[in-house]
Structure 1
Amino acid sequence: MEVYALVGRSGTGKSYRAQHLAGLYNIEYILDDGLLIKGNKVITGISAKRENTRIAAVRRAIFAEKEHREMVLKAIKEYNPDRILILGTSEHMIQSIMKSLEIGDKYKLIRIEDISSPQEIEEAVRTRRQKGKHVIPVPTFEIRKDFSGYLLYSIRQLIRGSENDERAYEKTVVRPTFSYFGKYDITPSALRSIVTFSAREVENVDRVLGVDIENVKSGIKITATVSLSLREPLYLIANRVAERIKDNLEYMTSINILEVNIIIKHIKMD
């Protein structure tokens, strides 16, 4: 296995540049902050950005926890990658990761200064310091369940790989708990208000009679009871209501919406 190491201090844009670098060297697999990533998909692992403190995040990133380490080690042995890119803040961190995951001790070192300009690094550091934003090099739908309620948004980047191969990659920007400049909580009543107003935005919804919210580990399940006007097939109206509720809630709260169920209790006839 060929190991490539991208090294740079925290916040200099390593995760943002990771997919571009992987494309240049034809690398399919990336180890970044506790996650094993293949292309645009998370294979296994637990993101260090979910931790509540910086110390816990570092321990997660170097696979210090036995269960986490064995989970990723098993996947590496199963997939047996030809090449892998490891991201770290120092060579010592790279060596610690390699030792934990039993992938030898030889690597090709690439520093963030080799692939980013001083201006790009300075801008990345400023964004991290002022806004607490971190990048995870996978699409939002890949990690939404693990970051339900976190501030998330996506960015897309067109990357040219080897032999004129161009691919569009999506990255996710997240503000981890340890980077918050404060915390926010959303009460169930606020969520119910968003659901109610979202449903009312849909044509042929007469009233919203009730909203039930079930919290589970990876997100929430919504059940809205409505009264509809009978002007078109009911399932079409119900589908539009469910889609509007899901879209508005995810956009406004970043909570992972697992289900939106619509109960039609009354029908209004003209």
Structure 2
Amino acid sequence: MEIYALYGPSGTGKSTSALALAHRFKISAIIDDGILIFQGRKVAGQSAKYEKTTIQAVKRAIFLDESHRKEVIQALKENPIERLLILGTSQKMIKRIQDALELPTIEHFVHISDIRSSSEIKAALFERETKGRHAIPIPRLQVEQDFISRLISRVEKIILSSKKEEYGETTIVHPQFHAGQIHVSEAVLKKLVLKSCRDLPFVHEISKIKVEMSAEPVITLHLSLKLASGESIQNLSHQIQKSIYQEFLEHLNLEVGEIDLLITTVQWKMQSPVTS
């Protein structure tokens, strides 16, 4: 069995990225937060995301419970697994899982930053802190029924192979142990945009602001400018975009993916007459 490992801090999108990584390297099985997934379906274990406390979740993820550990070891032996991907927050954690499940040496370590951009990671962390969303790379129907009614948000995506065969499905859940989320309203995001433009003397008026939060924040801004003769609209637009980008990075640790500006009107400043 060839072992791959994907590691990185909690909330950076490992579970969300696991299926795509498995597809890329033709990996048929995944160990993620206490469950064994084979060919896109859970075959053994119980997800740490079902636990009520963080401590219980960690114990579940590293297979400290003997019956849980033996169940997954047995499933590993019974299924024809040639390549296995283990997810964890660090190499140390992954090696603990390897030892607990009596697996061969890990041959390939992949850090989350190797497959996700800095902006995607920051957006994933923001999503975790503000909405408490966690991903489980198994179909919605396989999540226990008592968990569905309270905690499932939505099915995130289905990964298809080149032959259009279903490769796996990711379900978004809200674990009980994730509490104390920070709420950032759309109004606050819009105020950050206003703040970033407020001190730019050439921004005359802002008529519309739209902020979309997806994989990366996308901002659409309608505004009018007041320019002196000879000033470049393109250069001033770049200054506006840079100011907004830095504001989001400083206050929310978010990298804005796209900032679209629509210049509605341009007013020209009157030049002072030259006196002799």
Q: TM-score range by the shorter chain?
A: 0.5 to 0.7
Secondary structure of the equivalent of 2:154?
Answer: strand
CA contact (8 A) 1:150 1:176 kept: no
Deviation at 1:180, TM superposition (A): 3.3
Are 2:140 and 2:155, in contact at CA under 8 Å, matched by a contact in 1? no
- 2:89 aligns with 89
- Structure 1 SS opposite 2:87: strand
Q: Which residue of 2 aligns with 1:126?
A: 126
Given that 1:12 and 1:124 are in contact with CA atoms closer than 8 Å, whether structure 2 keeps it comes out as yes
SS, match of residue 64 in structure 2: coil
> Does the C-alpha gap of structure 1 residues 159 and 140 become closer, same or farther in structure 2, counting only changes over 3 Å?
closer
Tell me how far 1:181 sits from its aligned partner. 3.8
- Rounded to whole Å, the distance in 1 between the matches of 2:142 and 2:156 is 14
Unaligned runs of 5+ in 2: 182-276
1:83/1:49 CA distance change after superposition, 3 Å? same
Q: Name the % identity.
A: 42
Residues 1:53 and 2:50 are matched in the alignment? no
Q: How does 1:189-268 map to 2 (within 5 A)?
A: none
Whether the 8 Å CA contact 1:158–1:167 is kept in 2: the answer is no
In structure 2, the CA distance between the partners of 1:144 and 1:153, relative to structure 1 (3 Å rule), is farther
Q: Which has the larger radius of gyration?
A: 2
Structure 1 vs Structure 2 CA RMSD: 1.8
Counterparts of 1:62-101 in structure 2, within 5 Å, are 62-101=62-101
Contact in 2 for aligned 1:139/1:154 (Cα 8 Å) = no
- Secondary structure at 1:104 match in 2: coil
Q: Secondary structure at the match of 2:26?
A: coil
Give how far 1:166 is off.
4.0
2:5/2:106 contact within 8 Å kept: no
Kindly tell me: are residues 123 and 57 of structure 1, through their superposed partners in 2, closer, same or farther at Cα, counting changes over 3 Å? same
Q: In structure 1, what is the Cα distance between the partners aligned to 2:134 and 2:175?
A: 7
- Equivalent residue number for residue 246 of structure 2: none
In the alignment, the residues of structure 2 paired with residue 80 and residue 99 of structure 1 have an alpha-carbon distance, to the nearest angstrom, of: 20
Alignment of 1:24 with 2:7, yes or no, is no
Change in 2 beyond 3 A, CA 1:156/1:127: closer
Q: SS at 2:121's partner residue?
A: helix
Deviation at 1:54, TM superposition (A): 0.8
Matched length: 180
What TM-score, normalized to structure 1? 0.63
Q: What does 1:161-172 align with in structure 2 at a 5 Å threshold?
A: 161=161, 164-168=162-166, 169-172=168-171
> Deviations 1:3-49 (Å, cap 9, x if unpaired)?
00001110000000000000000011000000001132110101101
Residues 135 and 173 of structure 2 are in contact (CA less than 8 Å); yes or no, is this contact kept in structure 1? yes
Contact 2:29 2:81 in 1 (8 A): yes
- Which AA in structure 2 matches 1:110? V
Query: 1:136 corresponds to which residue?
Result: 136
Name stretches of at least 5 consecutive residues in structure 1 with no aligned partner: 183-270
Query: Hey, what's the Cα distance between the residues in 2 that align with 1:50 and 1:18?
Result: 19
> Aligned partner of 1:155: which letter?
V
Q: Secondary structure at the match of 2:157?
A: strand
The aligned residue for residue 34 of structure 1 is: 34
- The DSSP-based 3-state class of the residue aligned with 1:17 is helix
Aligned residue in 2 for 1:173: 172
